[in-house]
């Protein structure tokens, strides 16, 4: 089999796998069961926060290991305002988003001013998330390790819904919004400047791009978006605690779905979140059917880790990259023929 | 805080710092030679601690100190193979890929431990665990004193190895100038894998020394990974002496911070130091050269 043929076969197999996945997100629109609604919510929600990671990590090439910092800030700011100060959660939401943006701006200014790049930037974001986690564990107004419980009062005016389908619609809307933002990044001059920085920061600076400013801007945007997700999460599950909100696992989840789907692409996080969602369900079902397996949850996470290593080793552009490579080959062939 | 308590805190911190030194020396060696950040460092330490635990348990029943050569050898072989089969092959020589690959490895190792060994914490009981030795006003646990001494001894041996043996010289040559090393006939890929193996072997030694006074659970790696990174950046990436001084310093900071601010808030010192060093003095306190 020639190289082109094998890529074609791989793409066909991939399409057969991916097509059903396209229904992972919209499933609740077809089947209205609680299971489908919750599953669809998780896929779209993960795609949304994954996209927030993708803005900085994918489009601008600033790999972060600490996006949980923004997620947790979003969840905690809205919950503190709501629970301790009696704010309406809908009003607290924009404040939480602004707080996430502010933290992103702050982190960006500090680390980019110091010239941190690549792995160093990744590690310092991880350390920032740790500072927030330990802080939230220790100060009184977050109620420490006990976490914050939001009183159940299912009214739409209260950002709580009796029917979970409304959270699903909210996640759907947020996901579409995030896709629009990503699409805008591929079209706008801002996005072009970020791509230039990602490909070669020194060359971009030489062309007159203020790399520091653009990077701070994108991290601010990314942080605000991620914080928006944090508030939704807190309102959906009505509970938040430090090791949930600021965990490394949360940061890794966002990175993982983007890497698997295709880093720096519009649909990468959505594809990745669908794959992860389906993989998780399948391993849970299979693992649950084997009596010796008591807890199948780690099994699915092991699988995610293996998929991550394979993606980096063999498919650096993620699942979507396979399609792109095929299209590029075809275009090259037509160009040669003409 | 009274002076006595402060002094006891400092001495205890120094003793913990000895183990940190051992963990950080492995990390700094891997960084210095391969220029990669080994995110799986904590998880591999956790895996080595489980190895010590299972060697101690029946039916084998091996004392953790006697297990030292076995675990060190096993860790070296494991590290060498891990680099040869996974890290080196998957990264295609790109540094930023390695961070993500080692992240993937740490996810796999952590969750494999969770799956096979459950989330319970495991401890081992040795007859000398409770032995205390009076040192001024402080009472010191014997296992901690032993681990401190042994950790420093292993660091010294490693330093001599790097200084005087052919392999050590080859490793240093690759660390300084890998293209030049390749030109004079050094098998660079082999040196990479050996360095990674030695780095992991340090973790094996640390695991044996830790277990008599510590516990292991699948999340143990998390507790160490940021500490090790902090020590390495504090001492200057790739610097042995820096890792030594940084490890002892971090041990003291953690111990005294815990006394002053309580168990919870006391932990905040480590990520804060990490951030401050990276922002203000990225070459580290002791690493003058870049």
Looking at residues A283-288, what average pLDDT do you find?
A: 81
3-class SS string, B49-69: HHHHHHHHCCCCCCCCCCCHH
Q: Is B114 on the interface with A (CB under 8 A)?
A: yes
* Higher-pLDDT residue of A297, B183: B183
Residue B239's pLDDT is what?
A: 82
Q: How many CB atoms lie within 10 A of CB B172?
A: 16
Q: What is the pLDDT of residues B152-184, one digit of tens each?
A: 898 899 989 988 999 999 999 998 888 899 999
So where are chain A's domains? 3-328
Chain A residues near residue B95 by CB distance under 8 angstroms = 118-119
**Chain B residue whose CA is closest to A242:** B264
Rg, chain B, Cα only: 19
Confidence of residue B290 (pLDDT cuts 50, 70, 90): very low
% of chain B beyond a pLDDT of 90? 34
* pLDDT at residue A289, as a whole number: 78
Q: In Å, how far is B239's CA from the nearest CA of chain A? A: 17
**In this complex, is the C-beta atom of A290 within 8 Å of any C-beta atom belonging to chain B?**
no
pLDDT of residue A2: 52
Residue A144, classified by CB atoms within 10 Å of its CB into exposed (0-12), middle (13-18) or buried (19+), is: middle
Q: What is the ipTM of this complex?
A: 0.87
Q: Are A268 and A182 contacting, i.e. CB atoms less than 8 angstroms apart? A: no
Q: Which residue, among A182, A255, A26, has the nearest Cα to B96 in the 3D structure?
A: A255
| A·B CB contacts under 8 A | 121
User: For residue B54, which of B122, B146, B128 has the smallest C-alpha distance?
Assistant: B122
pLDDT digits 0-9 by tens, B44-73: 999 999 999 999 988 888 888 889 999 999
* Distance to chain A for B107, nearest Cα, Å: 5
Asked if B111's CB is within 8 angstroms of A122's CB, the reply is no
Q: What share of chain B is helix, strand, coil (3-state, %, to 5)?
A: 75, 5, 20
Whole-structure pTM value: 0.88
The mean pLDDT of A101-113, rounded to a whole number, is 96
Q: Which residue of B has its CA nearest to A297?
A: B115
Domain A3-328 matching CATH 3.30.70: the answer reads no
Tell me what the pLDDT averaged over chain A comes to. 87
Helix (H, G, I), strand (E, B) or coil at A150: coil
């Amino acid at each position: 089999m020639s190289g082109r043929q094998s890529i074609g076969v791989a793409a066909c197999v991939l399409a057969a796998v991916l097509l059903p996945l396209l229904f992972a997100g919209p499933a609740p629109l077809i089947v209205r069961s609680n299971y489908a609604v919750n599953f669809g919510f998780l896929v779209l929600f993960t795609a949304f926060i994954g996209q927030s990671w993708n803005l900085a990590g994918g489009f601008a090439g600033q790999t972060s290991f600490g996006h949980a910092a923004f997620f947790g800030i979003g969840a905690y700011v809205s919950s503190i305002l709501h629970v301790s100060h009696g704010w309406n959660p809908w009003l607290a939401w924009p404040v939480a988003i602004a707080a996430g943006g502010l933290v992103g701006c702050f982190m960006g200014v500090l680390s980019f001013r110091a010239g941190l790049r690549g792995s160093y930037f990744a590690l310092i974001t991880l350390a920032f998330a740790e500072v927030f986690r330990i802080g939230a564990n220790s100060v009184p107004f977050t109620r420490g390790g006990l976490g914050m419980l939001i009183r159940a009062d299912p009214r739409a005016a209260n950002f709580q819904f009796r029917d979970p389908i409304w959270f699903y619609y909210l996640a759907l809307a947020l996901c579409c919004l995030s896709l629009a933002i990503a699409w805008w990044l591929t079209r706008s001059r801002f996005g072009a400047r970020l791509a230039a920085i990602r490909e070669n920061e020194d060359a971009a600076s030489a062309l007159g791009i203020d790399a520091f400013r653009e990077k701070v801007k994108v991290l601010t945007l990314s942080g605000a978006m991620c914080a928006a997700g944090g508030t939704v999460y807190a309102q959906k599950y009505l509970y938040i605690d430090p090791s949930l909100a600021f965990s490394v696992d949360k940061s890794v989840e966002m990175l993982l779905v983007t890497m698997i789907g295709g880093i720096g692409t519009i649909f990468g996080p959505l594809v990745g979140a669908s794959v992860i969602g389906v993989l998780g369900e399948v391993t849970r079902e299979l693992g649950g059917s084997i009596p010796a397996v008591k807890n199948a949850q780690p099994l699915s996470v092991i699988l995610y880790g293996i998929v991550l290593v394979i993606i980096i080793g063999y498919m650096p552009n993620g699942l979507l990259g396979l399609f792109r490579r095929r299209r590029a080959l075809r275009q090259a062939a037509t160009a040669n023929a003409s | 805080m009274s002076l006595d308590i402060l002094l006891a805190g400092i001495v205890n911190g120094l003793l913990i710092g000895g183990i940190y030194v051992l963990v950080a020396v492995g990390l700094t060696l891997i960084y210095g030679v391969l220029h990669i950040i080994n995110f799986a460092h904590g998880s591999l330490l956790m895996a080595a601690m489980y190895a010590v635990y299972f060697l101690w348990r029946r039916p084998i029943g091996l004392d953790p100190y006697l297990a030292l050569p076995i675990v060190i050898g096993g860790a070296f072989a494991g590290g060498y193979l891990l680099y040869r089969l996974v890290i080196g092959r998957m990264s295609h020589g790109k540094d930023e890929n390695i961070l993500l690959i080692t992240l993937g490895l740490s996810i796999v190792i952590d969750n494999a431990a969770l799956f096979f060994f459950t989330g319970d914490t495991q401890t081992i009981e040795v007859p000398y665990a409770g032995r205390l030795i009076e040192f001024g006003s402080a009472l010191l646990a014997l296992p901690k004193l032993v681990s401190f001494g042994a950790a420093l001894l292993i660091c010294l041996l490693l330093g001599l190895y790097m200084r005087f043996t052919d392999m050590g010289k080859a490793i240093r040559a690759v660390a300084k100038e890998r293209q030049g090393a390749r030109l004079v006939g050094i098998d660079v890929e082999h040196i990479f894998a050996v360095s990674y193996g030695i780095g992991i072997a340090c973790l094996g030694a640390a695991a044996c020394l830790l277990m008599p006074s510590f516990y292991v659970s699948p999340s143990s790696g998390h507790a160490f990974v940021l500490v090790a990174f902090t020590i390495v950046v504090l001492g200057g990436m790739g610097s042995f002496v820096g890792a030594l001084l940084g490890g002892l310093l971090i041990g003291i900071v953690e111990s005294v911070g815990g006394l002053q601010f309580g168990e919870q808030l006391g932990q905040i010192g480590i990520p804060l130091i990490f951030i401050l060093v990276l922002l203000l003095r990225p070459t580290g306190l002791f690493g003058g050269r870049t």
